[in-house]
Amino acid sequence: MTNTLALVTEDDPAWQELLSELLRDLGLNVEVASELESAIALIRAQPHRLAVVDLSLGGSDHRNQDGLQVLEALRRHDPSCISILVSGFATVEIAVAALKEYGAFSCLRKEAFHRGEFRDLVHRALASSPPTSTAAIERAQAPSAHVLLVEDDAGWRSILTELLSDAGHTVQTANSFGEAWGYLQRKRYHLAVVDLSLARASAPHPNLDGMRLLEALHASQIPAIVVSGVATPEDIEYAYSEYHIFACLEKQTFDRHVFLCTVTEALQADHRYEGCPSPLTAREWEVLQLVAQGLSNKEIGQMLIITPNTVKRHLKSIFAKLDVHTRAAAAAWAIQRQSQHRPILHPPRLSA
């Protein structure tokens, strides 16, 4: 279904009413925000077809330019949305910046506002081709995948499902640990997106059922991305070190583009790790190749963003699986197989 949702970001009640009325008359459903924070929250919550943004959201403070930050949020989080900047104080320089730097479709001065001209402008904006969406970009870059989404919040489940589906992936949703566990027994997934806190009748308060699920995903060598609003730094560190999650994204600072890029990186990484020599896991093969390059545990940890103790645990497992007792013997085993398996020396990682 075509998106018919519009956003009006305006702190003046009279202009809120006027712009909302005109947009509704054109068949659009309208959301209204009167300041920067609420506008960004609405932008992150769901995509919009059109946004009409006032430059100044500071009441009587005519120097306020929060509207430009709203345009930037639209550019980052909802790039398919067409934006129109309105203002009674915009200079030529600001108008040019809005058009060139923030991708606004047009700029209107309030003192020259005309209902009929505004309607015509909106018609032209809606008829124009929107910018290439983030989802379309990711669809072209990432292979289609089967993704298990484990999230008990209906709103977040809807947002993440829409993003993954628009990117061309097949999504199976689960609301609880038990439901997700059942799906894992019946099907192989390329990726899992997991919330750490999952509601259940026996534990209605925040829990870490998702952490238990990460253990099963790690054992099945299914890459996992955590999207959570309750994880502590200790929880995140534990998830990285013990279950080797690919990434952890916080709901409080969720960015649609970052999420889609992370999904793409995780799937591409999983694809590159396919076929690592048995009996090693993908991460063990990764560590062993760095050992074969002569790197120390500290250097390996820095490259893979894990602790030296985690490297030691991987090496202990590698030695046991290969029935060797020294780094030299393990390295020789790796070198012997590098002619059959392409080295993975620089795994994909998220930018800081």
Q: Which one of 101, 127, 153 terminates a domain?
A: 127
Considering its fold, how many domains does the chain have in total?
Answer: 3
Strand ordering across the sheet containing 224-228: 170-174, 146-150, 191-194, 224-228, 247-250
User: In terms of pTM, does the model score above 0.75?
Assistant: no
| pLDDT at residue 231 in the model | 78
| pLDDT at residue 135 in the model | 43
Structure tokens at 294: 């002569």
Q: Where are the alpha helices (DSSP H) in the chain?
A: 13-25, 36-45, 66-77, 92-100, 115-127, 134-141, 154-166, 177-186, 209-219, 233-243, 256-273, 282-292, 297-304, 308-322, 327-337
Residue 60: give the domain boundaries. Answer: 5-127
Report if residue 109 sits inside a domain.
yes
| pLDDT at residue 272 in the model | 44
Give the CATH number of the domain where residue 263 resides: 3.40.50.2300
160 and 247 together in one domain: yes
116 and 148 together in one domain: no
Report if residue 208 sits inside a domain.
yes
- Could you tell me which residues come within 8 angstroms of residue 312 by beta carbon, excluding any fewer than 6 positions away? 297
Q: Which one of 273, 305, 320 terminates a domain?
A: 273
| pLDDT at residue 281 in the model | 74
146 and 202 together in one domain: yes
239 and 123 together in one domain: no
Give the CATH number of the domain where residue 302 resides: 1.10.10.10
139 and 263 together in one domain: yes
Structure tokens at 312: 């030691």
> Is 65:56 a contact under the CB 8 Å cutoff?
yes
Report how far apart the first and last C-alpha atoms of the chain are (Å, whole number). Answer: 37
Per run of 10 residues, the mean pLDDT along the chain (length 352 residues) is: 80 94 94 93 90 86 84 85 86 79 87 90 78 44 77 88 88 91 87 84 62 87 88 86 89 84 78 59 81 89 76 90 91 76 36 34
- Report the C-alpha gap between 17 and 13 in whole angstroms: 6
Report if residue 320 sits inside a domain.
yes
| pLDDT at residue 206 in the model | 57
For the stretch 154-158, contacts whose Cβ atoms lie closer than 8 Å and that sit 24 or more positions apart, written own/partner, are: 155/45, 156/195, 156/227, 156/251
152 and 121 together in one domain: no
252 and 138 together in one domain: yes
Report if residue 153 sits inside a domain.
yes
| pLDDT at residue 340 in the model | 53
191 and 222 together in one domain: yes
Can you spell out the DSSP letters for 244-295?
--SEEEEGGG--HHHHHHHHHHHHHHHHHHTTPPTT--HHHHHHHHHHHTT-
199 and 297 together in one domain: no
Report if residue 204 sits inside a domain.
yes
141 and 255 together in one domain: yes
Q: Distance of CA 50 to CAs 3, 218, 290, Å?
A: 9, 42, 50
Report if residue 345 sits inside a domain.
no
Report if residue 346 sits inside a domain.
no
Q: Which of 76, 126, 139, 121 is nearest to 103 (CA)?
A: 76
78 and 175 together in one domain: no
Q: Which one of 63, 93, 127 terminates a domain?
A: 127
63 and 183 together in one domain: no
Can you spell out the DSSP letters for 68-112?
HHHHHHHHHH-TT-EEEEEESS--HHHHHHHHHTS--SEEEEGGG
- Report the C-alpha gap between 316 and 287 in whole angstroms: 11
Report if residue 38 sits inside a domain.
yes
